[in-house]
C-alpha cells in the first residue's frame, strides 16, 4: 500500500522493487516447476528461460535509477528504525552486491544451474560422479568469476557466505564449527556406538503422505495457500504471497519424509507469516539463511523430535502403520527416531551427527574454491572424510558426494547456514520456553498454535526488516552462541 | 544455430527474439502452473507476476532497435521464400501489432486475465454469474482500449480475429458460418432427434486416465518430453522446446476425457514436431489458431471417432471397463460416441452440434463488443439462443454461459478458429487420404505413425514459416472451403 505521505522517490523505488520481486517469483516458479513437474527433456530450454528472466531482472534492478533513488532517499534521511529505513537499507545492500556483477554473468549462472541440476538428477540416479563433474567444474569457474567482482576479502568464501548470512565471515563460522566439532565427535563416540536399532519398515508411501498431512494440518497448513509435493530433494518455495510450496521425499524404507515435511514446514511458515504489507519488496522474505534454517530445524527437531509431539502423534502413526509399529511402544519409538546413528545421508541424520555432515561440506567447499581439492578427487576425499568423522563406509557416490543438490545449483556458501541455524534455533527455543513455559504439554495435545504465534510475532512477521544478528539480539538478547545448542544436545542425549 | 554467413543484423535480431521467446515460455509456465498447481489464494500475486513478465517482454520486443533491425533487413532484401525471409516477415507483423499498444496495457491485460480466470473458477463452481460479471466487464473494457490502438477496420472484431488468424476478417467468418449454420441445423434436425442413447457409466477416473495414456502412447507420446494433467478446462502448452503439456478433464459419468486428451494431443504434436532450429524464434510455434485447431480436431474426430481407431481400441477399452461396456458391441459403441446429440457443453459436443456452439459464441462476442448485448443480460440471452439453436434448456450458468474459460482469459476472437479448424481439418484430411490411401486399416492395427509423419512433413515441422492461407494452399491446393467438411458430415451421418 502506498501511503499518502510517501515521497515520490520511495514510491518510485517501490514500483521498481515490485517488478523485481515479481521476476524473482517467476524464477521461483520456473525452478519449482523444473523440480516438480517438468519433463526430463525440457531442462535445456528451461535453463535458457531461467537465464533470460534472471538477466533481465538483474538489469532491471541494477539500473542507475535505483542507485539515484537510494542516494536521494539516504540524503533525505530515513529513520533507520522505521520500515522505510529498513527497506532502503536492505535494498542498498542488495543493489550494491548486484551492481558489482554483470547481468550477463547473472544469466550465465542461472543457465549453468538449470543444466547442472538436471545433470545431477541423472548422475545421482546412476551414481555416476564422472557425468556430473564437468558441471561442477563449470559452477566453480562461475563462482570464481563471481567472487572476482567483489573487493578482496580475507578469504574468497566470505563473498559467498555473506550472500546468505549478512555480516557473517568464514572466520566466525570456523570458530563456531571448531568449537562444535570436538563436542559433536565426543557425543557421537559416547552415544553412536550403543545405537538404538531403526524400526524396520516398510512404511507404505501413501500412508506416510497421510501422516505428513496430519502433522501439517495440526501445525497450521491450509490448502488454499499451501501445497505439498514429492521431489528427490525436498525444498520449500514461495512464488508469491499466498502461495507456499513444500516438497518432501518419501521412501518406504523409513519415516524420513515426516521429518523433511516438518523441516520444510518451518521454511514455509516463516515465509507465510510475513507481514503482507511487505509483499513485493525485499522485506517480504526471511532475513537470512541461518535464521530460516533455525526455523526449519525448530519444527523438525525441537518440535518434531520432542516427547510431547510424539505423545500426541504416535498413536496416530501406529494406526497408520499397524504392521511395523503396532507392537512398538511410544518410548521405544521416540528413542529410535532421536537416536544418534552415524549414517551416510545428511538429510536423514540425527541431531548430533547432522553437524558433522555440514562441517565436512563446509571444509570441502573451501578447499574446492581454494583449489586445494580437485573435482576429480572429490569422491575419494568425501569417502575418506566420512570414514574419519563418522566411521561409515560410503558404498557409492549416490550415497556420498552426489547426495545433495546444492553444488549443482551453485549454492556454495549455503551449507554452513544449516548448522548455524541449529545453533540459533536452540537460543530462540530457550527464549520461547522462558516466555511461554513448558510447551510439551500443549504439543502432547496436538496444539502448536501458541508456539507458532510467538515465533510469528518475534520473527516471522518481520521478514527482512532486521538484520539476522539484530533479530537474534531482539529475540534472545544475545549474539550467536553455540553453548545453548551444545547444552541441549548434552541434556537430551545424557 | 547461428550460421556463419548470417548478417550481424539477423544475428542481433535473433538474440532479442530468443529472449522474447524465453519470456513467453515463462508466461506459459506461469499460466500452466496457475491452472494446474497453484493454491487458490496464490492467484492475486500470480496476476502481478504475469503482468510484470508480460509488460517487460512487450517493452523488450517493441524497442526501436527491433524496428531498426527489421528495416535494415528489409532494405538488404530477404528472399521471402527463405526461412530468414519468413522470420523477418512474421517478426515485422508481430512487432507492428505489438508496437501499437502500450506495454502498460499489455501488462494490465495479463493482470486482468489472471484475476478473472481465478474468479471464473469460483463462479463456475458456484454457478454464480454475478460474481464473474465485473471481470467480464473489465475484460471488455480492456478489449475496447486494445482495439482503439489499431486503425479503424470494417468491424472492431477484425482486430481481435487477426491476432489468432492472420489475414482473416469477420466478414469471411460470417460468410463461412452463414453457409454452415443452415446445413448444421438441418443435420441436427435430421439426426439429433433419433439420438442414440449414451452408454451410462460410471467410468472410474483412474481407468479413464489409463485409457488416455494407452491412446497417447499409440499416437507417439513420450514421457521424457510430455506430461498430462487434470484441469477443469483442458488445454495444451509448450513452455519450451522438449516440454509439451496436455491437460484433460475426467468425469466418471462419461468418456469425454478421452476425446479431450486426443484433442490436446493434436495441439501438442503440432508444437512438438516443429523444426528444432526454429526454437526461440517466432517461427517456433503453430502458424495460426485455426490451423492449430484443425490438428486438434483431426486427432480428436477424424482419427478418434473413426471406425478404424475404435476397431483397434474398443477391445482395450472394454477390458478397462468390463462393467458398463462388456455387453456393448463395437458397432453400438461407435454409433454412440459419434451420435448427434444436442447438449449443453461445447467441449462434450459431437461433430455436428459443435459448430452451432461456436456460432453462438461468435455472435455473442460481437454483440458484447458492439454493446448490443449487455453483460448483465448474457445468461438470459445465452439460454434463449441455446434453446433456439439446439433445443436444449440450460439448467444453470455453470452449464451455460460460464462453461468456457476463454472470456475470463480475455480470448475474444478465438472461438471462431475452432470451427474454421473443423473446416480446414477435412480439407487436409481429404488430401492425406489421397496421398496415403485409406488410413483406417492402419488405425485398426493401432498404427498412427504414417499419418503423423505426413502431417509433420506437410504442416507441423514448418511452424509459422507459412501464413495460414499459404500453408493451406501448399497442402491442399485450395483456399478455405466449407464444402468438404459438409460433405464429410453428410456422408458420415447419412
Burial (CB count <10 Å: 0-12, 13-18, 19+), residue B151: exposed
Residues shown for chain B:
494
Residue B183 has what pLDDT? 95
Measured torsion, CA atoms of residues B390, B396, B398, B402, in degrees rounded to the nearest 10: 70
Work out the minimum CA distance from A231 to partner chain B, whole angstroms: 15
Count the domains in chain A: 2
Q: If DSSP codes are grouped into helix, strand and coil, which group holds residue B238?
A: strand
From the CB of residue B175, how many other CB atoms can be counted at a distance below 10 Å?
Answer: 12
The CATH number of the domain where B265 resides is what?
1.10.1370.30
Work out the minimum CA distance from A44 to partner chain B, whole angstroms: 8
Range of the domain at B458: 170-492
Q: Which chain A residue has its CA at the smallest distance from B222's CA?
A: A39
Are A26 and B26 in contact (CB < 8 Å)?
Answer: yes
* CA distance linking residue B171 with residue B152, whole number of Å: 15
Are B29 and A25 in contact (CB < 8 Å)?
Answer: no
Are A42 and B223 in contact (CB < 8 Å)?
Answer: no
List the single residue in A22, A32, A33 with the smallest CB-CB distance to B52.
Answer: A22
Q: Which of B14, B36, B50, B52 to mutate to test the interface with A (most CBs of A within 10 A)?
A: B52
Work out the minimum CA distance from B298 to partner chain A, whole angstroms: 25
| Cell numbers representing residue B362 in the block | 461468435
The verdict on B369 and B309 lying in the same domain is: yes
- Mean pLDDT for A97-119 is 97
Q: Which residues of chain B have pLDDT under 70?
A: 1-4, 194-195
ipTM (interface pTM) = 0.94
Q: How many CA atoms lie within 13 A of B250 on its CB side?
A: 21
Q: Measured between alpha carbons, how far apart are the two ends of chain B, in Å? A: 52
User: Is A39 within the bounds of a domain?
Assistant: yes
Chain B interface includes A243 (CB < 8 A): yes
pLDDT in tens, B267-279: 999 999 999 999 9
Residue A201 has what pLDDT? 87
pLDDT in tens, A260-291: 999 999 999 999 999 999 999 999 999 999 99
Are A41 and B279 in contact (CB < 8 Å)?
Answer: no
Chain A interface includes B320 (CB < 8 A): no
Chain A interface includes B11 (CB < 8 A): no
The neighbouring-strand residues paired with B228 are B246
User: Is A157 within the bounds of a domain?
Assistant: no
Chain A interface includes B450 (CB < 8 A): no
Are B45 and A227 in contact (CB < 8 Å)?
Answer: no
User: Is A154 within the bounds of a domain?
Assistant: no
Are A42 and B242 in contact (CB < 8 Å)?
Answer: yes
Q: Distance from CA of residue B42 to its chain's centroid?
A: 26
Are A224 and B52 in contact (CB < 8 Å)?
Answer: no
What lies within 8 Å, CB to CB, of A56 at 6+ separation is: A23, A103, B19, B23, B56, B60
Q: Distance from CA of residue A443 to its chain's centroid?
A: 24
Q: Which chain A residue has its CA at the smallest distance from B242's CA?
A: A42
Q: Which chain A residue has its CA at the smallest distance from B32's CA?
A: A33
Residue of A264, A300, A351, A365 marked catalytic: A264
Q: How many CA atoms lie within 13 A of B299 on its CB side?
A: 29
Regarding beta strands A243-248 and A236-240, do their DSSP bridges make them parallel or antiparallel, or are they unpaired? antiparallel
The verdict on A181 and A95 lying in the same domain is: no
CB B17 within 8 A of CB B285: no
User: Is B154 within the bounds of a domain?
Assistant: no
* CA distance linking residue B292 with residue B270, whole number of Å: 7
Q: Which of B16, B21, B29 to mutate to test the interface with A (most CBs of A within 10 A)?
A: B29
- Mean pLDDT for A251-261 is 95
The verdict on B124 and B196 lying in the same domain is: no
Told to judge if A94 belongs to the known catalytic residues of this protein, a careful annotator would answer: no
Which residues of B fall within a CB distance of 8 Å from A58?
none
User: Is B200 within the bounds of a domain?
Assistant: yes
The verdict on B174 and B145 lying in the same domain is: no
What lies within 8 Å, CB to CB, of B124 at 6+ separation is: B132, B232, B397, B398, B402, B403
Last residue within a domain, chosen from B115, B149, B183: B149
Chain B interface includes A40 (CB < 8 A): yes
Are B243 and A46 in contact (CB < 8 Å)?
Answer: yes
Residue A3 has what pLDDT? 45
CB B316 within 8 A of CB B335: no
List the single residue in B45, B52, B56 with the smallest CB-CB distance to A243.
Answer: B45
Chain B interface includes A244 (CB < 8 A): yes
Are B225 and A48 in contact (CB < 8 Å)?
Answer: no
Which residues of A fall within a CB distance of 8 Å from B52?
18-19, 22-23, 26
Q: Which of A17, A24, A240, A276 to mutate to test the interface with B (most CBs of B within 10 A)?
A: A240
* CA distance linking residue A366 with residue A379, whole number of Å: 16
Are B29 and A30 in contact (CB < 8 Å)?
Answer: yes
Are B22 and A224 in contact (CB < 8 Å)?
Answer: no
Which residues of B fall within a CB distance of 8 Å from A43?
242
Residues 275-314 on B with a CB inside 8 Å of A are 279-280
The verdict on B130 and B228 lying in the same domain is: no
The verdict on B37 and B127 lying in the same domain is: yes
The verdict on A279 and A346 lying in the same domain is: yes
CB B289 within 8 A of CB B414: yes
The verdict on A203 and A74 lying in the same domain is: no
Residue B195 has what pLDDT? 63
Residue B194 has what pLDDT? 67
Work out the minimum CA distance from A34 to partner chain B, whole angstroms: 10
List the single residue in B37, B44, B53 with the smallest CB-CB distance to A37.
Answer: B37
Last residue within a domain, chosen from B120, B149, B178: B149
Which residues of B fall within a CB distance of 8 Å from A40?
224-225
User: Is A414 within the bounds of a domain?
Assistant: yes
Residue B2 has what pLDDT? 44
The verdict on A338 and A259 lying in the same domain is: yes
Are B37 and A42 in contact (CB < 8 Å)?
Answer: no
- Rounded to two decimals, the pTM is 0.95
Work out the minimum CA distance from B46 to partner chain A, whole angstroms: 6
The verdict on B226 and B99 lying in the same domain is: no
The verdict on B56 and B90 lying in the same domain is: yes
Round the average pLDDT of chain A to a whole number and report it.
Answer: 95
Looking at the predicted structure, is the pLDDT value of residue A309 above 70? yes
Which residues of A fall within a CB distance of 8 Å from B38?
243
* CA distance linking residue B66 with residue B99, whole number of Å: 10
pLDDT in tens, A237-252: 999 999 999 999 999 9
CB B5 within 8 A of CB B76: no
Residue of B84, B165, B166, B264 marked catalytic: B264
The verdict on B134 and B186 lying in the same domain is: no
A189: left (phi over 0), alpha (psi -120 to 50) or beta: alpha
User: Is A368 within the bounds of a domain?
Assistant: yes
pLDDT in tens, A124-142: 999 999 999 999 999 999 9
Q: Which chain A residue has its CA at the smallest distance from B280's CA?
A: A45
Work out the minimum CA distance from A15 to partner chain B, whole angstroms: 11
Which residues of B fall within a CB distance of 8 Å from A19?
52, 55-56
List the single residue in A36, A42, A227 with the smallest CB-CB distance to B39.
Answer: A227
pLDDT in tens, B386-426: 999 999 999 999 999 999 999 999 999 999 999 999 999 99
Inter-chain CB pairs, A–B, below 8 Å: 136
User: Is B159 within the bounds of a domain?
Assistant: no
Are B49 and A26 in contact (CB < 8 Å)?
Answer: yes
Amino acid at each position: 500500500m502506498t501511503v499518502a505521505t510517501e515521497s515520490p522517490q520511495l514510491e518510485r523505488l517501490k514500483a521498481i522493487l515490485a517488478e523485481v520481486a515479481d521476476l524473482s517469483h517467476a524464477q521461483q516458479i520456473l525452478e519449482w516447476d523444473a523440480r516438480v513437474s517438468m519433463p526430463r527433456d525440457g531442462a535445456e530450454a528451461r535453463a535458457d528461460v531461467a537465464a533470460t528472466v534472471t538477466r533481465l531482472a538483474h538489469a532491471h534492478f541494477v539500473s542507475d535509477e535505483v542507485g539515484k533513488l537510494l542516494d536521494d532517499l539516504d540524503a533525505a534521511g530515513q529513520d533507520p528504525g522505521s520500515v522505510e529505513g529498513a527497506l532502503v537499507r536492505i535494498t542498498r545492500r542488495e543493489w550494491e552486491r548486484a551492481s558489482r556483477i554483470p547481468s550477463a554473468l547473472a544469466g550465465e549462472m542461472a543457465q549453468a544451474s538449470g543444466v547442472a541440476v538436471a545433470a545431477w538428477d541423472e548422475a545421482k540416479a546412476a551414481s555416476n560422479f564422472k557425468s556430473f563433474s564437468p558441471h561442477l567444474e563449470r559452477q566453480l569457474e562461475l563462482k570464481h568469476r563471481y567472487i572476482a567482482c567483489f573487493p578482496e576479502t580475507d578469504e574468497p568464501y566470505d563473498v559467498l557466505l555473506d550472500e546468505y548470512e549478512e555480516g557473517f565471515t568464514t572466520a566466525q563460522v570456523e570458530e563456531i564449527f571448531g568449537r562444535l566439532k570436538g563436542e559433536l565427535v565426543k557425543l557421537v563416540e559416547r552415544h553412536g556406538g550403543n545405537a538404538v536399532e531403526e524400526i524396520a519398515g516398510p512404511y507404505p508411501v501413501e500412508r506416510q503422505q497421510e501422516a505428513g498431512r496430519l502433522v501439517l494440518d495440526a501445525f497450521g497448513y491450509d490448502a488454499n495457500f499451501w501445497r505439498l509435493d514429492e521431489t528427490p530433494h525436498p525444498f520449500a518455495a514461495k512464488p508469491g504471497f499466498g502461495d507456499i510450496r513444500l516438497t518432501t521425499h518419501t521412501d518406504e524404507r523409513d519415516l524420513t519424509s515426516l521429518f523433511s515435511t516438518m523441516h520444510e514446514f518451518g521454511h514455509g511458515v516463516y515465509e507465510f507469516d510475513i507481514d503482507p504489507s511487505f509483499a513485493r519488496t525485499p522485506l517480504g522474505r526471511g532475513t537470512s539463511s541461518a535464521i530460516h534454517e533455525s526455523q526449519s530445524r525448530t519444527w523438525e527437531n525441537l518440535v518434531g523430535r520432542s516427547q510431547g509431539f510424539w505423545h500426541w502423534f504416535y498413536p496416530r502413526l501406529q494406526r497408520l502403520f499397524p504392521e511395523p509399529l503396532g507392537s512398538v511402544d511410544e518410548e521405544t519409538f521416540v528413542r529410535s527416531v532421536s537416536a544418534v546413528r552415524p549414517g551416510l545421508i545428511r538429510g536423514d541424520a540425527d541431531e548430533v551427527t547432522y553437524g558433522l555432515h555440514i562441517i565436512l561440506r563446509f571444509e570441502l567447499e573451501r578447499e574446492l574454491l581454494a583449489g586445494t581439492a580437485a573435482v576429480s578427487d572429490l569422491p575419494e576425499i568425501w569417502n575418506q572424510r566420512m570414514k574419519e568423522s563418522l566411521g561409515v563406509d560410503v558404498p557409492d557416490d549416490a550415497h556420498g558426494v552426489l547426495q545433495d543438490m546444492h553444488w549443482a545449483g551453485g549454492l556454495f556458501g549455503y551449507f554452513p547456514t544449516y548448522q548455524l541455524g541449529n545453533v540459533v534455533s536452540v537460543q530462540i527455543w530457550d527464549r520461547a520456553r522462558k516466555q511461554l513455559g513448558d510447551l510439551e504439554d500443549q504439543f502432547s495435545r496436538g496444539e502448536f498454535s501458541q508456539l507458532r504465534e510467538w515465533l510469528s510475532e518475534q520473527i516471522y512477521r518481520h521478514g527482512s526488516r532486521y538484520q539476522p544478528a539484530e533479530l537474534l539480539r531482539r529475540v534472545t538478547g544475545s549474539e550467536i552462541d553455540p553453548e545453548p545448542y551444545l547444552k541441549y544436545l548434552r541434556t537430551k542425549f545424557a
